[in-house]
């Protein structure tokens, strides 16, 4: 069976950057997703279409098909006092910021005496993503999975 819309595909992957450093990889359990539901980055989903269990592929996903381009406007300096109640703000910490467009996840990149620099870009924005993939299973999605737009675990419990 081939990967196509409304089918569940499972795969193992290793994700590296342009320098070959491993950014992420699947655990012992393969990653499962509902194809066509936007559950993984578009470039990888396109590359997986038509593949079958046992297929192996290497995919380079450009930023436009991954986490998008970096936007300098999403980097801001915020008064340190905006972090009241947070002991010892450090680079790498992530917070949910409320904006006019809804909640945004921001990452602290720099901490000064009175200001904190936060970045609202996805950490992988602007990067080409290099996936090394092995498809392990392809199956029809259940009616519940199709209705909910994502894969369910054993017994219908959300993964």
Q: Which domain holds residue 31?
A: 7-67+125-156
109 pLDDT more than 80: yes
pLDDT value at residue 102: 86
Q: Round to whole Å and give the CA distance between 31 and 135.
A: 10
Q: Are 58 and 11 contained in the same domain?
A: yes
Q: Are 11 and 37 contained in the same domain?
A: yes
pLDDT value at residue 55: 98
Q: Is 98 a domain residue? A: yes
Q: Is 35 a domain residue? A: yes
**Which are the contacts of 114, defined by CB distance < 8 A and separation ≥ 6?**
79, 80
Q: What is the pLDDT of residues 11-61, one digit of tens each?
A: 999 999 999 999 999 999 999 999 999 999 999 999 999 999 999 999 999
**What are the backbone angles phi and psi of residue 44, rounded to the nearest 5°?**
-70, -40
Q: Are 61 and 129 contained in the same domain?
A: yes
119 CB burial (10 A radius; 0-12, 13-18, 19+)? buried
Q: Is 2 a domain residue? A: no
Q: Are 33 and 107 contained in the same domain?
A: no
146 pLDDT more than 60: yes
Q: Are 104 and 129 contained in the same domain?
A: no
Structurally, the chain folds into a number of domains equal to: 2
**135: helix, coil or strand?**
strand
Q: Are 60 and 12 contained in the same domain?
A: yes
CATH number of the domain that residue 102 is part of: 2.40.10.330
Q: Is 1 a domain residue? A: no
CATH number of the domain that residue 63 is part of: 3.10.50.40
Q: Are 16 and 63 contained in the same domain?
A: yes
């Amino acid at each position: 069976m081939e990967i196509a819309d409304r089918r569940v595909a499972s795969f193992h992957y290793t994700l590296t950057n342009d320098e070959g450093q491993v950014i992420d990889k699947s655990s012992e359990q393969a990653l499962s997703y509902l194809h066509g539901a936007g559950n993984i980055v578009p470039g990888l989903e396109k590359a997986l279409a038509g593949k079958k269990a046992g297929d192996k592929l290497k995919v380079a996903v450009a930023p436009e098909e991954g986490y998008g381009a970096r936007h300098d406007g999403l980097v801001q300096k915020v008064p340190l006092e905006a972090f009241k109640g947070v002991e010892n703000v450090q680079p790498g910490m992530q917070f949910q910021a409320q904006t006019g467009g809804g909640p945004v996840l921001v990452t602290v990149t720099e901490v000064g005496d009175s200001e904190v620099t936060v970045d609202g870009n996805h950490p992988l924005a602007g990067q080409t993503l290099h996936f090394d993939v092995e498809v392990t299973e392809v199956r029809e999605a259940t009616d519940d999975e199709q209705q909910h737009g994502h894969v369910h675990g054993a017994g219908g419990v959300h993964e």
